[in-house]
C-alpha cells in the first residue's frame, strides 16, 4: 500500500533556538518515522549559534524539509503559530529541538486519534500526547506519563478536564502532563482554538490544553514513552520565567479558580511550588505555614496530591539547581 497517497499528510513542526548540538538528531528522528507521508517544517527563532547554518545544510539534501527564520526572537508560542500558518498537512505533530521521537510515534498517535474519533469524539476536537522518557543531567531518567492513556473508553474532556488542569481536581485517567513536544492533532484543532497564545513564552502548552478543554475537546494519550526528552540548560528555561508565566496562565483562567472561590489560594500555591523548586527552604516553610493557616483544607488536599509528583519535581529542581547563574 502506498501510504504517501492513501493516508493523511502530517506536518512535523520544529521550532529551534540555539540547538546546534542537538538539532541534527531531532531531524533524523523525524526522517526515520515509519509513517512517511509527512513534511518537515522548521522555524528558527533567531538562534545565536550555528543552528541556522546546520538547518540549511540538512534541508539542501532532503526535499521534505523546509527552513525559515524569524526576523527577531518571538518565543516558542508565536513561532509555533507560524508553523501552523505554514503547515500543509491535515495533522500537525510538534518536535522540540532537543528531543528524539521513536520511529513509531507518528503512526501510533495518528491511529490513536482516528480510532478515538470513530468511537467517542462525536465531532469534538482531540489532542494526543505520548508518555516521555526524560533524561536529566547526571544520568538520571524518569518516565513522565500523560493523560487519557486507557484505550476503549472516554478520555478526559471538557470542563472537567479544564478544572483538573487548573485546580488539580481529581479526574479518572488524568494523571500526567501534556507538553507540546509529544503532541499531535488535526490542524483544524489548533485553528479552532486560535493556535497558541503568543503572550506565553513558557506554559503555552498548559494554556492550549485548558482552551481545548473549554472548547469541549478531548485529550487522549499513549502510555509508552515515544519521546525521549533531554533536559538541556538554556537561557529560556529559567525558574523565574516558569513562575512568571505559570502565574500569568492562572490569571488568564481565573474563571475556573473562581468557581471555588479559591483564586488567591491557587496563586499562592503555585508561587509556593516554585519557591520549593528553587530550593529556598526557609521561604517555603514560612509560606506554607501562612497558606495553611489561611486555607487549611485546600492546603491539605494539595499536599496529598503533590506526593504523586514528588520524584518528578525533585528531578526538575535538581536540573535547575545545576544550571550556572549566567545561563539563567
Q: What pLDDT digit, counting tens, does each position of 196-245 carry?
A: 999 999 999 999 999 999 999 999 999 999 999 988 766 666 888 999 99
The yes-or-no verdict on residue 1 having pLDDT over 50 is: no
**What is residue 251's predicted lDDT score, i.e. its pLDDT?**
98
CB 239 within 8 A of CB 143: no
The yes-or-no verdict on residue 3 having pLDDT over 50 is: no
139 Rama sector, left if φ>0, alpha if ψ -120 to 50, beta otherwise? left
**What is residue 325's predicted lDDT score, i.e. its pLDDT?**
57
Where do the structural domains in the chain lie, given as residue ranges?
3-230, 239-327
**What is residue 94's predicted lDDT score, i.e. its pLDDT?**
98
3-state helix, strand, coil in the chain (%, to 5): 50, 20, 35
Query: Which residue's C-alpha cell is 507538553?
Result: 179
> CATH topology for 3-230?
Spore Coat Polysaccharide Biosynthesis Protein SpsA; Chain A (3.90.550)
Q: pTM, whole model, 2 decimals?
A: 0.92
d(CA 69, CA 157): 36
Residues 6+ apart with CB under 8 A from 111: none
Q: What integer is the mean pLDDT of 79-105? A: 97
Amino acid at each position: 500500500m502506498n501510504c504517501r497517497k492513501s493516508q493523511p499528510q502530517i506536518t512535523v513542526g520544529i521550532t529551534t533556538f540555539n540547538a546546534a548540538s542537538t538539532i541534527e538528531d531531532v531531524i533524523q528522528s523525524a526522517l526515520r518515522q515509519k509513517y512517511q507521508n509527512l513534511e518537515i517544517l522548521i522555524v528558527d527563532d533567531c538562534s545565536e549559534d550555528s543552528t541556522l547554518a546546520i538547518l540549511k545544510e540538512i534541508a539542501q539534501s532532503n526535499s521534505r524539509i523546509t527552513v525559515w527564520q524569524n526576523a527577531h526572537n518571538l518565543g516558542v508560542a508565536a513561532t509555533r503559530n507560524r508553523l501552523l500558518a505554514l503547515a500543509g498537512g491535515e495533522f500537525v505533530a510538534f518536535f522540540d529541538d532537543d528531543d528524539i521521537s521513536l520511529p513509531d510515534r507518528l503512526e501510533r498517535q495518528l491511529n490513536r486519534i482516528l480510532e478515538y474519533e470513530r468511537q467517542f469524539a462525536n465531532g469534538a476536537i482531540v489532542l494526543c500526547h505520548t508518555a516521555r522518557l526524560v533524561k536529566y543531567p547526571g544520568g538520571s531518567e524518569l518516565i513522565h506519563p500523560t493523560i487519557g492513556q486507557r484505550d476503549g473508553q472516554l478520555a478526559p474532556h471538557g470542563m472537567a478536564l479544564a478544572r483538573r488542569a487548573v485546580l488539580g481536581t481529581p479526574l479518572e485517567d488524568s494523571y500526567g502532563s501534556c507538553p507540546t513536544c509529544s503532541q499531535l492533532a488535526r490542524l483544524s484543532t489548533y485553528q479552532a482554538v486560535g493556535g497558541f497564545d503568543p503572550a506565553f513564552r513558557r506554559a503555552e502548552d498548559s494554556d492550549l490544553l485548558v482552551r481545548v478543554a473549554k472548547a469541549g475537546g478531548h485529550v487522549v494519550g499513549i502510555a509508552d514513552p515515544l519521546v525521549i526528552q533531554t533536559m538541556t540548560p538554556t537561557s529560556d528555561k529559567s525558574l523565574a520565567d516558569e513562575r512568571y508565566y505559570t502565574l500569568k496562565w492562572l490569571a488568564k483562567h481565573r474563571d475556573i479558580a473562581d468557581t471555588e472561590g479559591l483564586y488567591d489560594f491557587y496563586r499562592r500555591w503555585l508561587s509556593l511550588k516554585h519557591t520549593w523548586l528553587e530550593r529556598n527552604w526557609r521561604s517555603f516553610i514560612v509560606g506554607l505555614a501562612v497558606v495553611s493557616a489561611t486555607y487549611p483544607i485546600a492546603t491539605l488536599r494539595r499536599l496529598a496530591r503533590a506526593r504523586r509528583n514528588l520524584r518528578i519535581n525533585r528531578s526538575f529542581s535538581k536540573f535547575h539547581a545545576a544550571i550556572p547563574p549566567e545561563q539563567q
